[in-house]
Structures are given as C-alpha cells and as structure tokens.
Structure 1
Amino acid sequence: MTLKSLLLGVVSVIALSGNYSALADDVPSISEDALKVAAELRDEALKSSKGYDIVESLTTEVGPRMAGTPGDAAAVKWGVAKLEELGFDKVWTEPVTFPTWKRGIETAEVVAPYPQPLVITALGFSVGTPEDGLTAELVEFDDLAALEASEEDSAKGKIVFIKNRMKRAKDGSGYGPAVSARTRGASEAAKKGAVGILIRSIGTDSDRMAHTGVMNYEEGIKKIPAAALSAPDADLLENMLRRGKPVIVKMTIGAKQGKEYTSHNVIGEITGSEKPEEYVIIGGHLDSWDLGTGAIDDGAGIAITTAAAELIGRLPERPKRSIRVIMFANEEQGLLGGKAYAKAHKDKLDNIITAAESDFGADRIWRIDSKVKKEALPVVMEIANLLKPLGIEYGNNKAGGGPDLIPLRQLGISVFSLRQDGMDYFDYHHTPNDTLDKIDPEALDQNTAAYVVLAYIAAQMEGDFGGGFTKEQ
C-alpha cells in the first residue's frame, strides 16, 4: 500500500463515520511558517561547526569515560557545564546506580608450537585469570552455534576460540549475528568444560587492535575469563591450528569487579513557550569504553543533538513544546541510563511527543524511519521533504529510536531513527582507534541539520505522533 492510499483511507474512514470534525482534531499538522523556520535552521546547521566543537571539547577535556571511573565523573561535570555554557534554559542530573568493573592487565601469547605474542582485550565484566595466568590448549569453533551444538565435554580443560567474522554493512546489520559470541560465548564455553574463551573481535577492520564490549555470565554457570583477539591475531591462530598440532595459549587478565557506583544522566532543556510540560527527546550516551576517547561512540551523538537543540534555542521565540537533550549514563554496560530514565518518568509518558537517539558514529545520515500513528504520517512526510536536500530518504514506520530509548520504546512512546552510514563504524567501535580524527566535520553538520529539523517540527506541530505502540506496531 502506498502512503497516498493509506492517507486517503484514513480520510475515508472518518468521512464514512460522519465525524467530519475529527479530521481536523485528530490529524496532526504543521504550519507553513514552521516549515520555513525548520528549513532555515537546517541550512544554518550546515554552516555551523558547533557539533564538532562540542565533540572536540569532550574528547580533549575528558577523553575515555568508562562507567564508574574518574572519567565518568568528569564527563558528568563537563556535560552540565557545557549545557549551561550553551544557554539551555534548564540543566539538571538524575542518578543512575550500577556495579562497576576494572580492566587491569591483559596479555596473551602462543606458548607452543610457534611462540608469538597476541593482541587481546578483556571483555567487560570478565573475571580475571589466576595471577600467574591461564595456560591451556585451544579448541576452535566456527561460531557460537557450532559451540552450542558440540558435545558436552568438547572443550574440557581448554580455551575456546570462536573465529566468526562480522560482515560489513551500511546499516550495521552484521553486528547482531556476530555479537552473540561476545555476549554469550563465555557461559556456553563453560558449559562445555572450557577454562577460558578467546573470540575474534566483533568488528570489521583488519587492524591489530582488539574490540572490547560487555559480556554476560549466565546465572549458575561457572565464570571463565573472556577476551577478544585482534583480527590479525585471530587469523594467526587459525593458521596455526590448520597445521594440525596442539596450540597452547597463555592468557593473563587482571580484571575484577568494583564497588557499586552512582553516575548521572545529564539533561538540558530548551523550554517550550506554550506546552512546556510536553517535550521531544534527542540525545546520545555520555559514557564510553576506556580504550579510545569515545569520539564516535558516542561523543558524536552528544555533539549532534546538543548542537541541534542549541540552534533552536537561539530562535527569538521558543517552539511550543520543550526539547530535552539527554546525555545517558552507562549505555555500554547495559543501557542503564536509559532504563533509569524510563523508570523515573514512566508515569508521565504522555508528555513525551517523540524521541530519537544518535548512537551510530558520525557519518552522514541517509535514511529516516518513524514510529508514529498513521494520522501523523503527513507530518512525517513534511519532515522527510525537508531532509531530502541533505541526501536523506524516508524508509518506513518501524523505527527503533536508538539503544537508550529501548526501555521507553517498550513502554510505547513514538520514536524516530535517523540512520547513519555505518560501513566503517565497526572498524573503530570499542577500540583504541575511536578518536576525534575519525570525524568529518561536514558530515557532523549534516547530522545536526537533520536533528534540528526533526526536533523543531516535533516541538512545533499541532497534534502529536501518538503513543501506546506495541512491539508489533
């Protein structure tokens, strides 16, 4: 069914019911004046370097900011100060409490038959090895499914090596099928009697650096040390194993659990002029892993959305509704900032008009998806038309909104997804190579231009995008 026929159907249903006034009341709209302002904001964003200035500030003045570390605390202070400096009407924080994890030493080497060093990184929340390391024979599996299908004692006393390769894709679709080796591999290996696990990094690069990321232990299953190998070192182990001789590896991981810690979601608001209690959410996550400076994951998202809201804040007249930039705490270790925000605001979901999170790097946006009631699709099309000059097309009405918005989305709010080109994103994701030089300022401005259009139209429109969406809708 085309969008035109869908909208005609909506009108026909209303007409047949005889409720002609419902059309004006229930179908959201946006004025020509508001469309003109949105276009001007879009064009202004393309000329601004505000987003790049923000991410440069974050990566230079704070740098790595893993949840529960001094960098995390510094980032919260930075976020509050930056939003105040940029003239947001209200700035505040909300607490997010969670367990912490510390990395420690991480080394590995092939002991026999061809002694060589290996580049590894511990996976988040891995337990450590004994102080003098763990030495055992490797047993390889093509992927997690092959490990799960193997015999009960297939890895007894050995270190499991999962060699699956992530596929590169513009929309990042190769990540989901590959990442289960990281999140679930340790417990599945332990069920087969393994004493440790090494996985090929969940990434698309060929650099000799490993990708970290959080993993999970299944309750009631023995916890074994878990680490990721750089892609060249995974290749090296494959080549050694192909020769048919036992490959003995020593790995030393000093990771350990830390104390419970309270960080904060940092929130800045451009307050609406007519309906200030209603608001649009845009944002990203403030934490990062500890290996790089968190430029593309997710300093870029913080910068894009903050710059977009700041641009709207410069208008001589505020839009009707408020715009909230949320810098979410501790996304990397389980969406904990997003979960805390959803829990704290679950009784006022009707106040949220829609939401969108930027958390897929800093490359150009190529598509926008929505999740709105069908009566609001004409406004979505107006947004899409304003984004066409940016090289952005409309996709579908099945948007996910972004990782930190999953808890709110599950409660039924409307969301949008502004999809960035992710062809290179997983070259740098969760590595030491996630640094400022990977960001193109012009691409960042294009992102800001897209977010400013969405945020302004959503804040200024008549009517709303709906809510109460189920998973299937």
Structure 2
Amino acid sequence: MRRLPLTLLAASLLLASGIASAANTTIPATAVKTAEQLRDKAMRDDTGYRIVTSLTTEVGPRLAGSEADQRGVDWAVAKFKALGFDKVYTEPVTYPKWVRRSEHGAIVSPFPQSMVLTALGYSPGTPRGGLTAQVVKFDSLDALKAADPATVKGRIVFVDYRMQRYRDGHDYGVGSPIRVQGPVVAQAKGAVGYLLRTAGTDPHSRTPNTGVTGFRDPAKAIPAAAISNPDADQLGRVLAYGKPVTVRLDLDCGIEGEYTGANVIGEVTGAKHPDQVVAIGGHLDSWDPGTGAIDDAAGVAIAMAAGKLIRDLPQRPDRTIRVIAFANEEMGLWGGRAYAGKHADEVAKFQLGTESDFGAGKVWRMSASVKPEARGAIEQIARVLAPLGVAYDAGRPGGGGSDLSQMHGKGMAALSLTQDGTKYFDWHHTAADTLDKIDPEELAQNVAVYAAFSYMAAQADGDFGSAPGAFAKDGAGE
C-alpha cells in the first residue's frame, strides 16, 4: 500500500479529530424513558413540599450572618444525609455581617403620620433620635442620575416607581436597580437618606419589600429604606400639595464586622464519570421579615427532592448530581461567587447546571446556553418536559439562575427554567413570604422538571460545551 506523505497524514488525523470533537451530543432512548418515569413519579411525590415545610418551620427566616444562618447550615447537612445523598460537605463563605434591629418612619410635616417601611441591606443606622430632613422626589433612577446635586444635597431622596406584574417578572429589571443603585447615586449627590417605593407588586398590602443596596463602604452609605405601595401613594399625595415635606427615619441597623457561613453541598455520585457533574440548587439564606418560603426555601427543596428521586433509581446516574444550597445570595451572590472562585478551574467538568430562585410557580419556559452540537440533546429534554407545560425558547440564552450564573460566567453550560412569577413580587422579600404561598402541585411540577432534565444531562452521550470562557458572548439569560 502506498504511504501517505507525512503532511497529508497529519491533516487526515486532524480532520478525523475535528469530526470526533464535533459529534452531536445525544441522550440514549433508555435514559429518555427513565426520565419520563422520573417526571411522572415526581408529579405524585410530596418530597419537595415536605422539605420546604421542614426548612420554613424548623429554621424559619435565615438572614445571612444571623443565628439562624448556622441553624440553616446544620439543617441542610442533616437533611442531605437523611435523604440518602452519597456525599455531604460544606465550603466556607465569608461576607460582611449586616444586622437589623428596628425601623420606623413618619411624615413630620405638613401632615404628621406614620409610614410603614423596611431598612435595606447594608444600610447604616440613623443617628440616635432619628434623621429628619426634607424630601425630594424623582420618578425614575435616570431622573435621579440626571439631577443637579444642589437639588439633592441635605435631603432625603424618594424614588417613586411602581412595579407591574408580569409572568416573567421582567419589571424587576427596573425596580431592582432603583433599590441597589439608587442609594449609591443619592449619596454621591449629597443626600442624607433614601426612600423608594417598594420593589414589589402588591398594591394594597403595607408589607414593603426589603432587599440589598449597592453600598459596600460603610463610610460612604446613607440610611436607606423601602416604603410600602400604600405608604408611597400617601407620600406622593402629600408631596402633590406643593408644600415642603419633611420625613423622619429611625433605623437601627448596619454592618458589624464579618461572618463566615457556608455553601452546603450534597451529591449523588455518578457511576461512570463521578468527576463530571450536573449542578442544581437554590440559596439557603433568606430575608428576615417572612420565613423565606418562596425565596428560596422552595429552590432548595426543588433541587434536594430532584436529587433524592434520582438517587432512589435502581442504578446510579452516569454523572454526579450535585445539589448546592448557597450561602448569602440575598446580599450580593456571596455563595455563588465563592463557589465559582473555588471551582473555576473545574468548569469543563460541569455538564450542565441551573438554580431555582424565582419562587414555586410552574416552570413554563426553558432556554439554554450550550454548544451547537448539543442543541439536539436540549430538544430531547424539551420534549420530555413539554407535557408539564414547559416551552423551549431556542432563541434565548440560559443563565443558570442567580448563584450558578457565576459558574456560567466562567464557562458552564446552563439552562434557565423560568417559573410563573406573576405574583412573585407581591411576596418577595416581605413578611408575606410564608409557606402558604406555595402550591404543593406546582412545587411538584418544578421537582419533575429538575429531576427529568438533570437525569438526562447526566446520561447524555457527549457534553454540552462547558469550557473556560465558553459562553462569554451569549448575553444574560435570566
């Protein structure tokens, strides 16, 4: 046989290698059938609801850095073990410790009356006896940014933007920056305090939505709080009289050093590729007014229950199912950023991942950021999820959820599984975030979605494209 020249032989080998590396990722028919069985079993299973009931009852609110933080970690470790996960461990996460003790507010003049408000994360306290100053109102964050500092200096800024309900919750994309960035902008222009109409959608309840600000340096922070929709309406009416309006804030809160909490992780070890993982999870912390049911005990329960259903199969999955209960998502994705920092070098071993952090409404949309050769496998997953009412949006990227967005940013292939958030911001970060807001059947649908997709990803022939920097150009998927 005639020998090929060396250069031609090398080119042939490279071509063959390229063809192999570009092979389509597929999911075997047997795995699809098992996923369908998992899906149907999950819809009849109450494990997720029992887990969320346990967390919200036995631990309750879990403000990061509080005494309940450690109780939550202990609970998660014990729950993973009780559910039969093969490996349970923690990874430390250090962050500023912010505390809330008390909060009061009132219109002092021209028409004295109290206001219902809640201090925002990283807000400092007011001086003893409170802070009293004239209010200046803006209709938007952009208007505040454009304001002459002379109109703001020495005053309490009030940004009056009313969020609307949407199935995908997209108006939070306006409300959240008003809460996070607004106080920082106001402080830089010389304001002495900051108020916003609550970043929430309940028009009637006097339960303002708390949340974090963008303050990081206590020396460059001003007292900041959210007032409920009815109180914002009232303040707006008083301002409409055209007279100077004075408000008093009395906040006892602030940063007290640092605290080290933990991400809590449970694994169902893969039988063939134990070092390759499908990552799912939720965040363990919550704000303190409610019991953190929809934000995010539900997410923790969904992921734990999905992992438990896969663990109970007659055979272990080919790849490891890793469930992560993240620390301190609420005040800056501390758990997610710590996790990504620790595991960035392993990103190629992450098969696929996403986090549940948008309540417990039914999942209605799936999107994905994967390599082109894995789109067929995503379509296979979509067909299994379709009977649950989940539509696949092939033109939309996947972001991985809140904390796992950090691993996605390192190059992890990711899904977004969007829940129905029509009423989510009625309760989000409020005293109304309690177990009664969770429908057991809707929660079971979430578990079915997570169990089915996780198993199929674990059994796939091929990968979904995770690699350092792999999805840098695909945009935000949340």
Shorter-chain TM band: over 0.9
CA distance in 1, matches of 2:94, 2:472: 28
1:132: how far off?
Answer: 0.4
CA distance in 1, matches of 2:118, 2:313: 47
1:375 pairs with 2:373: yes
TM-score by length of 1: 0.94
* SS of 1:266 mapped into structure 2: strand
Task: Give the root-mean-square deviation of aligned CA atoms.
Answer: 1.6
Correspondence for 1:457? 456
Is contact 1:154–1:193 with CA below 8 Å preserved after alignment? Answer: no
Structure 1 range deviating more: 411-420 or 150-159? 150-159
CA distance in 1, matches of 2:22, 2:312: 31
Correspondence for 2:409? 410
Change (3 A) 1:338 1:179: same
Query: Which sections of structure 2, spanning at least 5 residues, go unmatched?
Result: 1-13
Aligned pairs for 1:19-98 (under 5 A) are 19=16, 22=19, 26-98=23-95
The number of residues matched between the two structures is: 457
CA distance in 2, matches of 1:452, 1:37: 10
1:187: how far off?
Answer: 2.3
The partner residue of 1:225 within 220, 223, 226 is 223
Correspondence for 2:146? 149
Correspondence for 1:363? 361
Correspondence for 2:187? 190
The partner residue of 1:117 within 87, 90, 114 is 114
1:21: how far off?
Answer: 9.2
**Counterpart of 1:310 in structure 2: which amino acid?**
K
Structure 1 range deviating more: 413-422 or 166-175? 166-175
Correspondence for 2:5? none
Correspondence for 1:286? 284
1:400 pairs with 2:399: yes
Is contact 1:38–1:453 with CA below 8 Å preserved after alignment? Answer: yes
CA distance in 2, matches of 1:185, 1:343: 28
* SS of 1:418 mapped into structure 2: strand
CA distance in 2, matches of 1:303, 1:134: 42
Q: Give CA-to-partner distance per residue, 1:251-271, whole Å, 9 cap, x none.
A: 100112112111110000000
Q: Give CA-to-partner distance per residue, 1:4-34, whole Å, 9 cap, x none.
A: xxxxxxxxxxxxx975993697211111111
Identity %: 51
Structure 1 range deviating more: 338-347 or 326-335? 338-347
* SS of 1:255 mapped into structure 2: strand
1:239 pairs with 2:269: no
Q: Give CA-to-partner distance per residue, 1:395-418, whole Å, 9 cap, x none.
A: 125111111012211111100111
CA distance in 2, matches of 1:258, 1:218: 13
Correspondence for 2:446? 447
Change (3 A) 1:141 1:20: closer
CA distance in 1, matches of 2:358, 2:77: 23
Is contact 1:190–1:221 with CA below 8 Å preserved after alignment? Answer: no
CA distance in 1, matches of 2:191, 2:18: 68
**Counterpart of 2:406 in structure 1: which amino acid?**
P
Q: Give CA-to-partner distance per residue, 1:302-359, whole Å, 9 cap, x none.
A: 0011101100000110111010000000100111111111111122112110111000
* SS of 2:368 mapped into structure 1: strand
The partner residue of 1:390 within 374, 377, 388 is 388
**Counterpart of 2:353 in structure 1: which amino acid?**
A
CA distance in 2, matches of 1:218, 1:29: 46
The partner residue of 1:203 within 197, 200, 203 is 200
* SS of 1:277 mapped into structure 2: strand
Correspondence for 1:327? 325
* SS of 1:245 mapped into structure 2: coil
**Counterpart of 2:249 in structure 1: which amino acid?**
M
Change (3 A) 1:90 1:239: same
Correspondence for 1:304? 302
Is contact 2:89–2:264 with CA below 8 Å preserved after alignment? Answer: yes
Query: Which sections of structure 1, spanning at least 5 residues, go unmatched?
Result: 1-16
1:192: how far off?
Answer: 2.8
Structure 1 range deviating more: 419-428 or 168-177? 168-177
